[in-house]
Structure 1
């Protein structure tokens, strides 16, 4: 897959990011992968997410270890380390955020409690500032993916059908959705500024992202109508037919039939069409009806299970592919690594971290005329401090040296 031909549609745009953890950095990374010059501002020594797991070496010598997490979420950005507790440091940050220029004046942050970085204070320096602030709740109180996910009810409908304890999801899905919403909000605000000259203050609460997600899927409406939560259904796909099956070699596959065509393909592959045709009038089922396939999911799975149990995973894969069945194999992340090493996934790329360790990271999933964008260099805390101060604020070497000597800014380790 080509990557050098991919356009950089946001080339020339300068963004300042002062955010930690997942949502804000994901938004900045998305803009950087589209060509924006994103400068990340961190406290000297790193913020609360700078050494977050996973770390190189499983955290052994954590103080000196690169974080796979932090370096990947912030790749492609320039890093500046500033003592934001000092007056000089605050003045530098404000100057960077509100620097004049048509393609400047864009800030993404999740700052709490810094009055000097309030939108009102910043707009006093640049009236057309685009400021997108990520919050936990709309009132500014804290929340993280794992708390808001619990509050919108997802763990209560996840997991085995038996047993009543909530099952947490390990993927911070709302954080990732919020990060992409950050980039959407910035681009929308830029478009408005290009037409009207006005800036924007955009607030994005993680709790609102989660609530919007479950509401837009119709799940809250369903609960309101029923007056009760949906029952857990294990690995079955809710409202359709889809479930996992073990093969004879112990490996498992996930098979899904959302449409009548996919259902027909599954019956054709497994040779069960006649059985289901005979069973339909007995159950009063219409197999072309997605809802009926869900209602009778256990009976369907029981009929299909012997077909999978009689074949190893390779034979299952070949026969399902031949019939164009919608399916996927269960595998571990080490298997994905092996596929990457074999050159299967063009979106993945190898990178060298500042400490010398190797890492696997990702290009933007967007392909422009068949080409991925460049990966972006993994960051090193404060690596571009001097460069940013010189290019964005036009400070001299002597001025930068003075800031360094006074501990206002710092370079890389």
Structure 2
């Protein structure tokens, strides 16, 4: 963690992945992020996978370094407290519907004069109000029908979903950026903003920004499936003699020359160039268009060597490559995790399970990052936040707790 945003407080009312990610990234840069949930937990509080004690590992990791307030958000009293917290704080991240009790205009109307003009970021499904989630917008964007083996027919073969909810994480990161951009404007003008970010627009907009939309319209048809090959460049998975699979990529002349040297294939590459009338060092296009013949040359060499020997040769020639790991192998890998300064010591997680936790992805060489902070217990900071933010006395908070409007820490719930 860094303290770049330690003068910023944010109310987060969210669930699942995209919205908590936005708050997480702000918290890792030092912002005070106060997540407000229903007193029994939000829709993601028990999200799979659960520990034996019933704690969600997903929730635990998406809510690190945040504070937690638990209110009865199904009651008018609880909703009123939530609105007041957002109104007095002045910054809000949420994925509740735009016409919910936490609508921008409703929160702004509740603001005291001394509060900064409300700046809110709201994650939506589609721009027209329809619901969406990562896997449905991914289906709409067309990517699952571009994945799969090359021999699969575009029309009859099934789609292949990506396992990573990439649009959720991209949306969360974009929302953190959008919030800070809106706050910078407010610093200059005094005017807050309502920012709406539809998950579907992030997906279809990325399709456009990547050039893929223009490509499809230009060609007037869909791109063929390529298996594990890289579109428009040289790259694919190969299998070594000992069965280890690894990925290589050569997008620059230096990478290509290194790969040719590492595999010792200058002669067959030269023969192929003479036969087809191209120079593969000239760029991506000839390497991509003749990829199958090139793949055969490289795979023939890979089949005769164990991966360790190949890896040593590729490293010596500055190649871009990596072996395939299972997710469990990646989580246990010294190079990726144990010896990586991204990870810090395990904090006191609510689950009681100790494991490496991430610091901020950004590395500021001139500053020392703090150790990863734990996620809160649900309701752990209810009393603290209501007292500090709303000025409620301990007696008033006690009455709210007795009435079931406010819940305190669920540390001992299991």
**TM range, normalised to the smaller chain?**
over 0.9
Alignment of 1:191 onto 2:184: yes
Q: 1:170 pairs with 152, 163, 172, which one? A: 163
- Determine the C-alpha separation between the residues in 2 that align with 1:151 and 1:238: 20
Partner Cα separation in structure 2 for residue 93 and residue 183 of structure 1:
21
> Cα distance, 1:285 vs. partner?
2.1
Cα contact 1:352–1:359 (8 A) shared by 2 = no
Task: Choose the corresponding residue for 2:247, options 245, 254, 270.
Answer: 254
Residue number in structure 2 paired with 1:215: 208
TM-score, with length taken from structure 1: 0.93
Q: Which residue number corresponds to residue 315 of structure 1? A: 309
Which piece of structure 1 moves more, 39-48 or 375-384?
A: 375-384
Secondary structure in 2 matching 1:367:
coil
Q: Map 1:10-409; keep pairs closer than 5 Å.
A: 10-57=5-52, 64-99=53-88, 104-112=89-97, 115-126=100-111, 128-163=117-152, 164-288=157-281, 289-340=283-334, 343-349=338-344, 350-369=346-365, 371-409=368-406
Partner of 1:60: none
Contact 1:84-1:90 within 8 A present in 2 as well? yes
- The number of equivalent residue pairs is 398
Q: Distance in 1 between matches of 2:326 and 2:59?
A: 22
Q: Which residues of structure 2 form unaligned runs of 5+?
A: none
**Distance of 1:336 and 1:185 partners within structure 2:** 32
Cα displacement (A) at 1:221: 0.6
Given that 1:340 and 1:348 are in contact with CA atoms closer than 8 Å, whether structure 2 keeps it comes out as no
Distance 1:367 1:224 in 2: 40
Give the SS at the match of 2:243. coil
CA distance in 2, matches of 1:409, 1:114: 24
Provide the C-alpha distance between the structure 1 equivalents of 2:351 and 2:224, rounded to a whole number of angstroms.
48
Is 2:24–2:63's contact at 8 Å kept on the other side of the alignment? yes
Distance 1:373 1:206 in 2: 32
Secondary structure of the 2:176 match is: helix
Q: CA deviation at 1:274?
A: 2.2
Mapped partners of 2:256, 2:98: distance in 1: 55
Give the Cα–Cα distance (whole angstroms) in 2 for the partners of residues 213 and 369 of structure 1. Answer: 31
Deviation at 1:113, TM superposition (A): 6.8
CA distance in 2 between counterparts of 1:236 and 1:378 reads: 39
Following superposition, the deviation at residue 114 of structure 1 comes to 5.4
TM-score by length of structure 2 reads 0.93
Consecutive unaligned residues in structure 1, runs of 5 or more: 1-5, 58-63
The 3-state SS of whatever aligns with 2:231 is coil
After TM superposition, give the deviation of residue 249 of structure 1 in Å. Answer: 1.3
Distance 1:292 1:299 in 2: 11
8 Å contact kept, 1:403–1:409? yes
Q: Which has the higher contact order (CA 8 A, sep 6+)?
A: 1
